[in-house]
Amino acid sequence: MFFKILVLVSLLAVSAYARETSFAYNGFQLADLTVDGTAGITPDGLLKLGYDLQTQQGHAFHPYPVQFKNSPSGSVFSFSTTFIFAIRSQFHTLSGHGIVFVVAPQSGLPWSLPSQYLGMFNETNNGNTTNHVVGVELDTILSSEFQDINDNHVGIDLNGLTSAMSAPAGYYAHRGKFKNLTLISGKAMQVWVDYDGVEKQINVTLAPINVRKPDTPLLSLTRDLASIINENMYVGFSSSTGSVLTSHYVLGWSFGVHREAPALALHQLPKLPQIAKKETSKVLTIGLPWVVLFVISMLILSVVSVIRRKRKFAEVLEDWEREYGPHRFNYKDLYIATKGFRNQELLGKGGFGRVYRGILPTSKIEIAVKRVSHESRQGMREFVAEIISMGRLRHRNIVSLLGYCRRKGELLLVYDYMPNGSLDKYLYNQPKITLNWRQRFRVIKGVASGLLYLHEGWEQVVIHRDIKASNILLDADFNGRLGDFGLARLYDHGTDPQTTHVAGTLGYLAPEHVRTGKASRSTDVFAFGVFLLEVACGRRPTEIRDAEDVILVDRVFSCWDRGAILEARDPKLGAEFVEEDMELVLKLGLMCSHSDPLMRPSMRQVLHYLEGDIPTPEFSSIGSRLTFGHHQGFDDLAMCPSSMDKAFPQSSSVAESILSGGR
Ligand SMILES: *[C@@H]1O[C@H](CO)[C@@H](O)[C@H](O)[C@H]1NC(C)=O
Ligand SMILES: *[C@@H]1O[C@H](CO)[C@@H](O)[C@H](O)[C@H]1NC(C)=O
Ligand SMILES: *[C@@H]1O[C@H](CO)[C@@H](O)[C@H](O)[C@H]1NC(C)=O
Ligand SMILES: *[C@@H]1O[C@H](CO)[C@@H](O)[C@H](O)[C@H]1NC(C)=O
């Protein structure tokens, strides 16, 4: 019984030895290998050959012989091996020599040399048939003495370093498309070596890791290996480095005789070390794309900003404007002058647009820039012509127009800067009084003389079209100056006189202006009359008090009617006013805002009255006409400015009562 068991055990041992024709290592932690030289197994389980030392070699062999033949003279069995390797070099473009899968008579290559000899042969035995060595080399150096094809090739070596067959590293991908591989890329790649013992054909195939074994081998050499491979041989790896620090790693390896090498379990393979030393290449490979990206995005940004700048400062300049060259302002200059039309530079918002303060970049002149949005180009030519000719108007009571600039949908008018702003803000500063009667009277006289200049003092008649307190500006000495003249015309253009679209300001529009759409000197006088009352009374032309529309002219008229016209005056003035002047201004206001244009005085007459050249007109005699006309127009206009039907009923109740009053 005891004997029987012994026999069984020895049989098992023998069979184990004989069947030792296949193995697989997914990592080498537990592998039994014979190593020498620089070869070793890392704690992670990587087989590492070439320990970063210069001019060294190393070998790692399966420790047991493999039976390749039945007898010394027999034919070589089919065998197959596959392994995964990676070559990591100190430099990106250079490396140590290479790594070889070898079939050799011993589990080592004792007489071999490093460097170009790949740890396989020496000077004297290279190429000698007595070597009995088969190698598949992954060679990264061009050694011309062995007729290497390049410095990145795969070769089949039979007893010597001059390859029996070699090809540049690469693989045939889908549909036979050849793709290059770089052995020293540091990336893991897989090699398959298959020998067909019947066909006497050795195939070598290479592919990146994770790529299925290509159908077409990289090398396919028909050669009977019977004379080279002995009955029992050892299989393993040889590696040699040169003057460049290089590590050759094998991550996994399997081998089989009479069968295909067992497939490697890729997920079980040990991890390659992080590339730490290659800082320069890292900077190049990782940094360069970022640098390129950065440069490209900077380029795009600058192109975009140039385009945006161009668009930002784009102007509209047509041929007909050439003659206005001296009056033409550069948009960029205006943009700089107003600090980009900043809100802090905003002086006010008028009916036609916003006004900004600015300082011209070169001349340092203070300006006010009015941005008028204007959609249509229609009538622009005439308008600009008019504006420019008005730009030649010079009078101490007129705000000088310095020039203009035109952009798409926008017109910019450049005026003298008036440090004290517009008059209206002084009038309605409840309850503070910021402008005394003497100053107000001076402003009134100034505006009257400015308006007279527009109407009569120049080669052509200029209609202001929009006289009101907010369009009267005060210079440094509190002189009243007319601004914004003619601007209303921009909105009048092309409008049918039959329509009710009339530019100007509600409360200042003469009834016939609304009716005919035509502005004239006497429509200006009408507005001036309203303006006079505004200044004297410190009230707006129409106000809502106790939920009722209070029309300023009505109020003044009723005071006058009661024989107490002075009661209409601005109460903020207190007793600080000149009675005759106040009465004159109030009466003149009523006279000018007469609904019948023929009843209104001309600006020349107005100025004479104001200067005291003509005695105050006999107001009582014009009373009834004043009453009638005024009420009919003004009252209704104030309430229904856009409806012609309602604007002019035959009479209003107030008018009737005054009429029946018999004045
Ligand atoms: C080369 O190797 C052979 C064995 O293969 C050995 O006999 C010979 O002495 C070696 N030559 C040198 C120069 O090392
Ligand atoms: C091959 O090596 C053997 C013994 O090492 C030697 O006798 C023979 O001359 C060598 N042949 C050549 C061609 O070098
Ligand atoms: C592949 O490598 C060869 C030389 O090894 C070269 O001539 C060829 O241009 C390379 N092909 C590509 C696509 O890089
Ligand atoms: C070697 O490659 C050739 C050509 O692709 C193929 O016909 C043959 O079957 C392959 N032999 C082995 C053992 O893989």
Which H, E and C letters describe 229-281, residue by residue? CCCEEEEEEEEECCCCCEEEEEEEEEEEECCCCCCCCHHHCCCCCCCCCCHHH
CATH of 39-264, one of 1.10.240.10, 3.20.20.80, 1.20.120.1200, 2.60.120.200: 2.60.120.200
Q: Which of residues 327 and 362 earns the better pLDDT score?
A: 362
The helix/strand/coil state of 137 is strand
Can you give the pTM of this predicted structure?
Answer: 0.48
Query: Residue of the nearest CA to atom 1 in ligand 3?
Result: 180
Task: Check whether 6 has a pLDDT greater than 70.
Answer: no
The residue to mutate among 121, 125, 238, having the most atoms of ligand 1 within 8 angstroms of its beta carbon, is 125
Cα first-last separation, the chain: 158
- Contact between 155 and 136 (Cβ < 8 Å): yes
Q: Which CATH superfamily is domain 423-659 in?
A: Transferase(Phosphotransferase) domain 1 (1.10.510.10)
* pLDDT score, position 415: 87
- Cβ-based neighbours of 482, under 8 Å, separated by 6 or more: 397, 398, 399, 447, 450, 451, 454, 464, 467, 471, 472, 473
Boundaries of every domain in the chain? 39-264, 314-416, 423-659
| Least confident interval from 141-155, 170-184, 197-211, 501-515 | 501-515
Closest ligand to 217 CA?
4
- Ligand 1 centroid distance, CA of 114 (Å): 13
Average pLDDT of the chain to the nearest whole number: 80
Q: DSSP letter at 76?
A: P
Phi/psi region, residue 19 (left: phi>0; alpha: psi -120 to 50; beta: rest), is alpha
- The whole-number pLDDT of residue 655 equals 30
Residues contacting 365, CB < 8 A, separation 6+? 359
Average pLDDT over residues 209-228: 94
Query: Which are the catalytic amino acids?
Result: 466
**88 in helix, strand or coil?**
strand
Quick one: pLDDT at residue 326? 65
- Separation of 126 CA from ligand 2 center, angstroms? 10
Arithmetic mean of pLDDT, 97-116: 89
pLDDT tens for 135-194 read 999 999 888 889 999 999 999 999 999 999 999 999 999 888 999 999 988 899 999 999
- For ligand 4, whether the C-beta of 196 sits within 6 Å is yes
**What pLDDT is attached to residue 351?**
63
Residue nearest to atom 11 of ligand 2 (CA): 128
Domain 314-416, what architecture?
A: 2-Layer Sandwich (3.30)
pLDDT at 482 over 50: yes
The answer to whether 507 and 542 have CB atoms below 8 angstroms apart is yes
Return the higher-pLDDT residue of 642 and 69.
69
- Average pLDDT of the segment spanning 48-63: 78
Is the model's pLDDT at 533 over the cut of 70?
A: yes
Lowest mean pLDDT among 12-26, 489-503, 569-583: 489-503
Residue 114 or 443, more confident:
443
**Closest C-alpha among 532, 555, 535, 531 to residue 543:** 555
Residue 124 CA: which ligand 2 atom is closest? Answer: 14
Tokens of 48: 């590492």
Q: What is the pLDDT of residue 497?
A: 39
Q: Which of ligand 4's atoms lies nearest the C-alpha of 80?
A: 13
DSSP 3-state assignment of 612? coil
Ligand number nearest CA of 121 is 1
User: For ligand 2, atom 4, which residue shows the shortest CA distance?
Assistant: 130
* Amino acid sitting at position 612: G
110 Cα: distance to centroid of ligand 4 (angstroms) = 34
CA distances from 4 to 10, 155, 282 (A): 10, 52, 67
Residue closest via CA to ligand 4's atom 3 equals: 220
Picking from 204-213, 216-225, 311-320, which range would have the lowest pLDDT averaged per residue?
311-320
* 85 and 99 Cβ atoms separated by less than 8 Å: yes
Rounded Cα distance, 600 and 626, in Å:
10
Q: Is 370 annotated as a binding residue?
A: yes
Residue with the smallest CA separation from ligand 2 atom 14 is 128
What is the predicted pLDDT for the residue at 412? 85
What percentage of the chain reaches a pLDDT higher than 90? 33
For residue 457, the model assigns a pLDDT of 82
How distant, in Å, are the alpha carbons of 195, 385, 473, 589 from that of 435?
A: 113, 37, 13, 19
Ligand at shortest distance from the CA of 196: 4
Answer yes or no: is the C-beta of 172 below 6 A from any ligand 4 atom.
no
Q: How far apart are CA 3 and CA 9, in angstroms?
A: 10
CA 183 to ligand 3 centroid distance, Å: 13
For the segment 417-456, what is each residue's pLDDT rounded down to a tens digit?
A: 888 888 888 888 766 777 889 999 999 999 999 999 888 8
Which of 191, 193, 201, 257 to mutate to test ligand 4, by most ligand atoms within 8 A of the CB atom? Answer: 201
pLDDT for residue 375: 64
Higher per-residue confidence, 416 vs 657: 416
Q: How far apart are CA 77 and CA 198, in angstroms?
A: 8
pLDDT (mean) for 493-500? 41
C-beta 222 within 6 A of ligand 4: no
Could you tell me the pLDDT band of residue 202, with boundaries at 50, 70 and 90? very high
User: Tokens 């404007």 map to which residue?
Assistant: 321
What is the rounded radius of gyration, in angstroms, for the C-alpha atoms of the chain? 53
- What is the pLDDT averaged over residues 271-299? 77
